[in-house]
Amino acid sequence: MSDSFRALVIEDQDGKQKAGFKNLTVADLPDEDVLVEVSYSTLNYKDGLAVCGKGIARRLPMVGGIDLAGTVLESKSGEFKPGDKVIVNGFGLSELFWGGYSQKQKLKSDWLIKLPDAFTMQEAMAIGTAGYTSMLCVLALEKAGVTPDKGEVLVTGAAGGVGSFAVAILAKLGYNVVASSGREETHEYLKKLGASSVISREETMGKGRPFDKERWAGAVDCVGSNILAAVIAQINYGGAVAACGLAGGNDLPTSVLPFILRGVSLLGVDSVMASKAVREEAWARLATDLDKSLFDDMTRLEPMSKLPELAADILKGQIQGRVVIDVNA
């Protein structure tokens, strides 16, 4: 049928969540106020979990994809008109609301922001939730007083999507960035993004004590668990860690010592429900603080048909940088 289009739909199969490609029509889409023709989506860690049926979808059937960039086809909102180029990051897409792994999608106008002038749709998706989250982490560190003159900053899980952008943005802002990566083969890549040096996960652990030698003025942590605990233990007096991820686990085996003896701050970063004003601030800063010449190194474009294998790869920690998904390929 000519009015049908493709989407990656997560459904219940014998009590388990299973993702598969389906043909949908506009009549199948949720009753939201803006219809968007989607051009690109992305692959984030959370998308990996959703596509591999790890319980991200809280309603079924669910269309995956936490990011999308596209063109408005129809709008009942005064804020958007047909032809507008828009992006969405988060807001419960792929969890509670249908997301970007679809050639068309209906979305709440409150979730949309206009595509920033500085970026094409493909570039905005190269940034996607990962890049926007890393900018939220940088903004959190800045607000906590972690400035480039304070000393070295650490980025953990550095070769992943959030980590790669954090390294590139912090380096462009003049910070002395040390990247922590578990993959030897990513070291050259991370130096190209601006890391002054790269350390292994073992080295990042230091002595593995809850209160260790001071080492970092600040940090962006994508990993959680033992790594985050070790990083908190090594933050300089008055420094801060922006914690956004759980790629290594969602526990945090730490003590209060770094907080009460060194005044260390642990800054929680959430991109999903951040307000429109916060998003617009982050995207405005991305327009000025990101070196676009690094995009080719940091991103690759893949067809939607490859999502099942790419999702498995990101959960195994095997994706370097960002994957943009062409939903029409």
Interface residues with ligand NDP (CB under 6 A)?
Answer: 44-46, 129-130, 133, 157-163, 181-183, 186, 201, 222-223, 227, 244-248, 269-272, 314, 317, 319
Q: How far is the CB of 236 from ligand NDP (least distance, A)?
A: 23
Cβ contact 89:248 at 8 Å: no
Strand order in the sheet with 62-63: 16-24, 5-13, 62-63
Q: How far is the CB of 90 from ligand NDP (least distance, A)?
A: 7
3 state SS of 180: strand
Closest to ligand NDP by CB, 72 vs 130, is 130
Give the residue closest to ligand NDP by C-beta.
160
Closest to ligand NDP by CB, 1 vs 316, is 316
3 state SS of 35: strand
CA-nearest of 36, 105, 37, 39 to 324 is 39
Closest to ligand NDP by CB, 70 vs 90, is 90
Q: How far is the CB of 33 from ligand NDP (least distance, A)?
A: 25
> Which strand (E) or helix (H) includes residue 227?
helix 225-233
Closest to ligand NDP by CB, 35 vs 162, is 162
Closest to ligand NDP by CB, 35 vs 135, is 135
> Which strand (E) or helix (H) includes residue 249?
none
| Placement of tokens 């051009």 in the chain | 39
Closest to ligand NDP by CB, 38 vs 50, is 50
Closest to ligand NDP by CB, 17 vs 134, is 134
Q: How far is the CB of 321 from ligand NDP (least distance, A)?
A: 8
Q: How far is the CB of 62 from ligand NDP (least distance, A)?
A: 17
Strands 67-75 and 85-89: antiparallel
Annotate 204-220 with b (16+ C-beta within 10 A) or e (fewer): bbeeeeebbebbbbbbb
Rounded distance between C-alpha atoms, residue 260 and residue 159, angstroms: 32
Q: What is the DSSP string of 305-328?
A: GGHHHHHHHHHTT---SEEEEETT
Q: Write the CB contacts of 294 (distance below 8 Å, at least 6 apart in sequence).
A: 168, 192, 193
Q: How far is the CB of 182 from ligand NDP (least distance, A)?
A: 4
Q: How far is the CB of 3 from ligand NDP (least distance, A)?
A: 34
